[in-house]
Amino acid sequence: MSKTSTTTPLPKLTDLAALGQAAECLRVLAHPHRLRMIQMLLAGEFTVGELASACELPQAMASEHLRLMQRCGFLNSEKQGRKVFYRVTEPHLKNIMNCIESRFDAPTAY
């Protein structure tokens, strides 16, 4: 007796090169300090000093985190006088953070 195939049609698949780029940017986000910075920047503009303070990091380390996120196109910066302000430019970060917060910001049940 022959077995009949009941294969489900494949959904529309994203190009592997695009998925590779997405994976690289998700790796950049996958750091607690960067996620905290994104949380803050979704609420407004902040300087590297303000972000470093909130993350309890030296400014040089905070700058490196910001540089990595800028390279992925998540952020941009604008100099105003002697200060540089960072802001989110990737609108989809709000959805990603909503997902993270709804999953991991829930009270721990014991």
Q: Within a domain: residue 5?
A: no
Domain total for the chain?
A: 1
pLDDT tens profile 72-107: 999 999 999 999 999 999 999 999 999 999 999 866
Q: How far is CA 11 from CA 8, 14, 59, 86, in A?
A: 9, 9, 45, 38
Model pLDDT, residue 6: 72
Question: Containing domain of residue 66, as a range?
Answer: 18-104
Q: Within a domain: residue 10?
A: no
Model pLDDT, residue 110: 47
Q: Within a domain: residue 9?
A: no
DSSP E strands in 12-100: the ranges are 46-47, 75-80, 83-88
Instruction: For helices 93-104 and 32-43, give the axis angle rounded to 10 degrees.
Output: 120
Model pLDDT, residue 3: 59
Segment 6-11 shows an average pLDDT of: 86
Q: Within a domain: residue 27?
A: yes
> Residue 67: which CATH number?
1.10.10.10
Segment 29-36 shows an average pLDDT of: 97
